[in-house]
Structure 1
Amino acid sequence: MNICVFLSAADLDERYTGPAREFAELLGKGGHTLVWGGSESGLMKVVADGVQAAGGRLVGVSVDFLAASARKDADEMVIARDLAERKALLLAKADAVAILVGGTGTLDEATEILELKKHGKTTKPVVLLNTAGFYDGLKTQFRRMEEEGFLPVPLADLVFFAEDAETALAHLVESVGA
């Protein structure tokens, strides 16, 4: 299965790198392909290293202005002309999506896939790995959106919140049937 992972390219501490590394190792050992932003820095590097070390494939989609920091030894690397094309290519190459900790770029990617699901433009499963409670506030906001009628479909149909790597991957595998 090709799993797109949206996450930070920032260098983060062990409370975030540990669970990301665990998720990466599970991906690789499961024979899955990592589809990611292609960066050779921060949490993106941690996950790519973990997937590769565990025997998984790497498919990166970088963007023109970040191409210099793209991973050189990926199995496949595509350079998009802008961020919109990058997101479209990442999603096109994936069977499922996992969202790990990240900043505004990760949040942008997450909300785009959820908006596509809301409008029936994709049925790909999406899991949000809530490492160290990082997305507790977002979960609360999504629940409020659902309760107050801002979501035309149940929140559970848009995203699955997982508290650990094993649960996150199990949900994706079960949802895709891989």
Structure 2
Amino acid sequence: MNICVFCSAADLDDRYVTPARQFAELIGKGGHSLVWGGSDTGLMQVMADGVQETGGRLIGVSVEFLAHKARSGADEMVVTRDLAERKAQLLERADAIVIMVGGTGTLDEATEILELRKHGMHTKPVVLLNTAGFYDGLKAQFQRMEAEGFLPLPLTELVFFAEDGVGALAYLEEQAGITA
């Protein structure tokens, strides 16, 4: 399975790095591929290292203005001209999407992916990985949107909230019909 991970390219605290590393290792050991923003910095690098070191494939999608940060040694690296094309390529190459901790870029990617899913433009499973409670506030906001009628489908059909990488991967493998 090609798992697209949206996450930060920033160097972060161990409370985010350690769980990311563990999740990356699960992806690699499971024989899955990481589809990611292609950067060799921050949490993106942690994910790529963990997946590659445990036997998984790396499919990077960078963007021209960040190409100097792209990881060499990826199994595949695409460089797009802008962020919109990058997001489209990431979604196209993915079988499933995991949204990890990140800043405004990650939030932009997450909302676009969820909006496309809401409108039936893709049916790929989406997981919001709530490491260290990072997305507690966003989860509460989504629950309010659902309760007050802003979502045309149940929240559980839009996104799955996982507290750790084990739960995230188990959900994705279940959705894909993969048994252990």
- TM range, normalised to the smaller chain? over 0.9
Aligned counterparts, 1:83-102, within 5 A: 83-102=83-102
Determine the structure 1 residue equivalent to 2:156.
156
Identity of aligned residues (%): 75
Deviation at 1:177, TM superposition (A): 1.8
> 1:128 matched to which residue of 2?
128
Match of 2:176 in 1: 176
Secondary structure (helix, strand or coil) at the match of 2:153 reads coil
Query: Which 4+ runs in 1 deviate beyond 3 A?
Result: none
Q: Give me the whole-angstrom Cα distance separating, in 1, the residues matched to 2:13 and 2:113.
A: 27
CA distance in 2, matches of 1:104, 1:116: 18
- What amino acid is the match of 1:63? V
CA RMSD of aligned residues (A): 0.5
Q: Which amino acid aligns with 2:24?
A: A
Q: Which runs of 5+ in 1 are unaligned?
A: none
**Partner of residue 62, structure 1:** 62
Partners of 1:89 and 1:14 lie apart in 2 by 30
For the pair 1:78 / 2:84, whether they are aligned, the reply is: no
Helix, strand or coil: the match of 1:59?
Answer: strand
Normalised by the length of structure 2, the TM-score is 0.98
- Which ranges in structure 2 are unaligned for 5 or more consecutive residues? none
2:124 match: secondary structure: coil
Q: Secondary structure at the match of 2:89?
A: helix
Paired with 2:95 and 2:53, the residues of 1 have a C-alpha distance of 22
For 2:47 and 2:155, locate their aligned partners in 1 and report how far apart those are by CA, in whole Å: 27
Output the CA distance in 2 between the equivalents of 1:78 and 1:172: 25
How many correspondences in the alignment? Answer: 178
